Amino acid sequence: MEVFMLVIDSPLLAIQFPLDSLLGFIGAVALSFVLITWLVSYLRFQDVLKLSEEPTGDRSLSSASLFEIKLAQFLMESGREQNAFCVVKGVLGDRGSLFEARVRELLREKDCVVALEDGLYGLIIRCDREDVEAILTRLRNQLSKDVDKQDSEWRLGLAMFPEDGVTGRALVASADSARSQVVEEALFAWHEPDLDEEELEDEEAHPEDEVGVQDAATDEEDEKEEEESSGGGRLLDPLTGVLRDRVLSTYMHRRLNEFRLKKHPVALFCVSVDNMDQILDFHGEAAHDALLAEVSRQLQSNLRSDDMIGRHEERGFMILVACVAKDLEVIAQRVCGAVQQAILTFEDRRLRTTVTVGISHYPEDGKNLHQLYVKADKVVTYCRENDIRGYAVYSEELHGLQKVKPAKSVKATRR
C-alpha cells in the first residue's frame, strides 16, 4: 500500500495517508495546502514584525497598520502567557516624532506607542486594570513638564484585554467607543459594555422607573448653572471631598460594569442626611455646610478606600460597595452608628445628626445603575414618609409599590 507522509520539523508533525484511495489522496493534498499556507502566513507575519521593530520600518507601513501589527503581537503573547494589557487611543496634545519618542521613553520597554492619523495616538500598555490610571497620570504629569501642555488636551479611550475584547478589532472599537464618552472633567474614560438584551427588556418593561427626566432645555440650563457654580473641571466636590454629583454616575457606571464582568456582588447605598432643614434655619448656612462635610468625613472613615462615594443632590450621598448580601447590615450599622455618634463643634455649638440609608443589591435588585438607584431611593422615600430613621434593605413586598419622587440628578444614572 502506498503511503503519503507529511513531515514538518518545527514543530514536529508527521501525518500518514493511504494513497490507494481517492479520498486519501485528496485529504493529503488538502492538508498539505492548509499547512503550507499557514507556514507562509506565519513566516510573513514574523517578517512584518521585524520590519515594524526596525527604525526605518515605520516609514514603509501606515501608522494604522503598524498599530494593528503591534496589537496582534500583544494578543499573540498574551494568549500564551495570560497577561492583561490596556489599549489606549486618543489625543495626547502634541504632534511630531520628538513627542512620540518622549512618550516611548517614559513607557516601559515592552509597551508600545504609535502616532496615528488626525493627531491621535495609540498606546498598548501591559498592566492590570487597577494600575492604568496611575501609569497615565504619571505619563501626563511628566509630559506636561516637558512640553508645557495643558491637561485638558488629553482625551483618551481605554479598553482592557480580555474584558473589553479578545481580538484587535474589538479592542480598538472598544477604545474608540470609550473615547467618545470622555466627559469634560476627565482625562480618559473606560469602555462600558452595552446592556444585554435581558437588561434592555427589563428597562422597557418598567416605564414607571423613568423618573426625574426633565425637558432638554431645563437640563442644559441646570448643568450650565452647576458648571459655573462649581468652577468647572473638578471631579471632587469642594465641600465634602467626594465625587461631584455631575460626574458621579459616569464613574459608578464604570465601576459597576467592572463588578458585572467579574460576576461580583455589589450594593448601592443611598444616604440621606437628616434634620438639615432645621440646622439651616436655626444655625445658618455655615453650620449646615460644616455638618454636611463632617458626615462625609465619617462616611469616608468608615468605608474602604476602594468603595466609591459621591455627593447626590444637595444633602445626600451615593455609595457603591463591593459586598455580599449577608454583609449589608453590618456595613449599614457601622455607617449609621458613626454618623450618629459624631459631634461637630461649630462656633461653641455642638451639632450632630443622623442619616437614613436605602440599600439595593446587585444582581438581586437590579442589573444596572438606574435600576439599583430607583429601588434604593424607594427605600429612602418609604422611610421618610413613615418617619423611620436608620437603614433598610430593599424588599419588593414592602417597598415595591412605593412611588419615587422626581429627582434632578436621577437622569444621570440612565444611559
On average, the pLDDT of the chain sits at 77
CA distances from 391 to 219, 354, 355 (A): 31, 11, 8
How many angstroms separate the CA atoms of 392 and 322, rounded? Answer: 18
Say which residues have a Cβ less than 8 Å from residue 173's Cβ, sequence separation at least 6: 165
How would you class 43 by CB atoms within 10 Å of its CB: exposed for 0-12, middle for 13-18, buried for 19 or more?
A: exposed
For the segment 59-85, what is each residue's pLDDT rounded down to a tens digit? 456 788 888 888 888 887 766 555 788
The position carrying cell 454616575 is 249
Asked if the peptide bond before residue 11 counts as cis, ω within 30 degrees of 0, the response is yes
For the segment 103-127, what is each residue's pLDDT rounded down to a tens digit? 888 888 889 888 887 778 999 998 8
Check pLDDT > 50 for residue 56: no
pLDDT at site 364: 93
* Same fold yes or no, 62-190 and 197-413: yes
CATH number for region 62-190: 3.30.70.270
pLDDT at site 51: 47
How many angstroms separate the CA atoms of 98 and 62, rounded? Answer: 18
pLDDT at site 18: 58
Range picked from 36-40, 327-331, 386-390 for highest mean pLDDT:
327-331
pLDDT at site 231: 43
CA atoms within 13 A on the CB side of 170: 11
Q: Average pLDDT for residues 244-261, to the nearest whole number?
A: 86
CB of 298 within 8 A of CB of 354? no
Check pLDDT > 60 for residue 215: no
The position carrying cell 421618610 is 384
Going by pLDDT thresholds of 50, 70 and 90, the confidence category of residue 213 is very low
For the segment 329-384, what is each residue's pLDDT rounded down to a tens digit? 999 999 999 999 999 998 888 999 999 999 999 999 998 899 999 999 999 999 98
CB of 260 within 8 A of CB of 199? no
The domain locations on the chain are 3-53, 62-190, 197-413
Helices within 148-215 (DSSP H only):
168-179, 197-204
CATH class of 197-413: alpha beta
Q: Average pLDDT for residues 34-57, to the nearest whole number?
A: 56
Range scoring the smallest mean pLDDT among 13-22, 162-171, 368-377: 13-22
Q: Which pTM does this prediction carry?
A: 0.51
For the segment 283-333, what is each residue's pLDDT rounded down to a tens digit? 999 999 999 999 999 999 999 988 999 999 888 999 999 999 999 999 999
With pLDDT > 90 as the criterion, what percentage of the chain qualifies?
Answer: 31
Crossing angle for the helix pair 197-204 and 369-385, nearest 10 degrees?
Answer: 40
**Partners of 86 in beta bridges:** 125, 160
Beta strands in 46-119 (DSSP E): 85-91, 112-115
Q: Which has the higher per-residue pLDDT, 26 or 341? A: 341
How many angstroms separate the CA atoms of 116 and 156, rounded? Answer: 13
Q: Which has the higher per-residue pLDDT, 335 or 92? A: 335
How many angstroms separate the CA atoms of 168 and 124, rounded? Answer: 11
